[in-house]
Every structure is written in structure tokens, then in C-alpha cells.
Amino acid sequence: MKTVAIIGTGLIGASFGLALRKAGFDGSILGVSSSRAIAEAVAVGAIDRGAPLAEAAAQADLIFLSQTIGRILDTIRHLDALVKPGALVTDAGSTKSEIVDAAMQNLSRCQFLGGHPMAGKEKRGAGAASADLFQGQTWVLTPVEAGELDTPAAIDFRNWLKRIGARVVALDCDEHDRIVSLTSHLPQLASTALAATLAERLKESQTAVAGSGLMDMTRLALSSYDIWRDILTTNSEHIERALAGYIQELEHIRENLRTRQLQEEFARAARFAASLRR
């Protein structure tokens, strides 16, 4: 690939540009974003310059959609007429089924390959971007058919992902959405629900008694709804099932507070938590 268009030059998009440069990419990197985001991305060296979507799409061999899920869906609906034939379009949306569906319905002049880099930071924007953000992190790709990973454009893209240090994992998009509903979306809602439950029942002076466990358990609750709205609406079926399973487990614990049954739950939970840390 010679020209890359990054649509949405926030934390992920700008980090992708910086990572490509650090890995030796010497082609052109165009950014499509608000004028403020473009200025920030140019300033940190993540892109060469800003361009309108039509101009960037017409030149790019790789189009990287690193916007919010809602905007990725919107861009996909307008992109087909603008692309260079044979270009590869990929994305960084944190749910995949709706995006892949939209791409199958709307893109025919180019290849689409869904993606989800499992990397992030608490800070947003190109100012927080880092060339090493994807180093050692999982980057999920969600081909509809396995052959999609082996087109020349996809091989080229995967090679660049390796060069920036990402560990590429191929997953079915529905299976991806099920897994992240458990590993990411459920923990977020468990934290938000915990903080909301406590907010109703404690005066501020009573939280002086808070230990480090409560701090761990409420860190995700600091997240803003703006980031989560699209995730919750585009993955609601899997999230509903995950929540139902969690509620069932909590009911089981509640009914067995005084019994030895809980020993088993604690042991199972501790084994799982330990396995995450290996």
C-alpha cells in the first residue's frame, strides 16, 4: 500500500498513523476528521495532512475507519462510490456484527475486512496517541470467509499489523461480539451498576471507609456514556444474555450466603481470575 486514509484521527486513528510511521511506512497518510482533530493529528506527526472524505478515499489503498461505531456505519453507507477500486477498507469499531452487515450491504467496489484493535487509554484524542499503543496487543480481524484474509491487499495490511507489534486474531464477527460482551461490556455495566447502587445508599462522608477493592471496582464507572451508547445499542442481544447470566449468578450467591455452596463459587472465580493473569 502507498496511500493510507485514516477516517477519524482520535486516539486510535492517530496511534495507527504513528505506529505505521515508526514501523517504516513511507507512503502518504491522509486524515479525514474535524479541523481541530486534523490539526492535532498533524501536530503529533500521525498524518501528513487533512483531506475531504471523497479526496482521501479516491487515493487510498487502505481506508482505516477509526470513528465511533455510529459514524463508521454512516461512512460505510456513503463510501462505495468514492473508493479506488480494489482498495481495502477496515475499521476499529468495538462491536462487529452491525458494521460487517452494513459493509456487506453497501460496499461492492472494494474489499471490507472488519477489525478491532484491543487497545485503548483513558485519555482521548491524537494528543494522547502513541506509536506503541498496539504493541503486544490483540488485533481482531473478522472475515466473513477465511479467504478474505489472503487477498493481496489483506496480506499487505496484516504484514503492517505485525510490524506495528499487534497480535492478529481472526474471529467470526458474532463470536467476537459475544466474547467482548463478556470480557468488556459486562465488566463496564457491572462497575456502573455498582457505583450507581452505592451512590443511592451512601453519604459522601461514609465513603472514607472505601478500600482499594472498591477503587478497582469503580474505575470503569468513570467512563462516559458517549463512548458506550453505540456499543450498547449495537451489541444489545449479547449484552442482555451476559447480564442475565450475571444476575443469575448474583441471585445464586444471595441465596447461599450462609451455605458452603459459596466455597465453590469463590474457587471457580479465583481460578478464572488467576488464569487471566498467566
What residues between 226 and 265 interact with its own copies by CB under 8 A?
A: 228-229, 232-233, 236, 239-240, 242-247, 249-251, 253-254, 257-258, 262-263, 265
- CB–CB of 11/39 below 8 Å? no
Q: Are strands 111-117 and 138-142 parallel, antiparallel or unpaired?
A: antiparallel
Comparing CB distances to its own copies, the nearer of 53 and 220 is 220
Comparing CB distances to its own copies, the nearer of 78 and 229 is 229
Min. distance of Cβ 151 from its own copies in angstroms?
A: 25
Comparing CB distances to its own copies, the nearer of 128 and 232 is 232
As given in the structure block, the three cell numbers for residue 115 are: 477489525
Comparing CB distances to its own copies, the nearer of 9 and 191 is 191
Show contacts with its own copies in window 166-195 (CB under 8 A): 167, 169, 179-180, 182-184, 186-195
How many other C-beta atoms are found inside a 10 Å radius of the C-beta of residue 192?
17
Min. distance of Cβ 165 from its own copies in angstroms?
A: 15
Question: What's the rounded Cα separation, in Å, for the pair 139 and 156?
Answer: 15
- CB–CB of 209/237 below 8 Å? no
If one asks whether residue 211 binds its own copies (CB under 8 A), the answer comes out as yes
Longest dimension (CA), the chain: 67
Comparing CB distances to its own copies, the nearer of 1 and 217 is 217
Min. distance of Cβ 163 from its own copies in angstroms?
A: 20
If one asks whether residue 162 binds its own copies (CB under 8 A), the answer comes out as no
Residue type, 197: T
Show contacts with its own copies in window 70-129 (CB under 8 A): 118, 120
Question: Total residues at the site for its own copies (CB under 8 A)?
Answer: 83
Interior angle at CA 38, CA 36 and CA 44, nearest 5: 105
Interior angle at CA 175, CA 154 and CA 186, nearest 5: 120
Question: What's the rounded Cα separation, in Å, for the pair 148 and 155?
Answer: 9
If one asks whether residue 54 binds its own copies (CB under 8 A), the answer comes out as no
3-state secondary structure of 28: strand
Comparing CB distances to its own copies, the nearer of 147 and 271 is 271
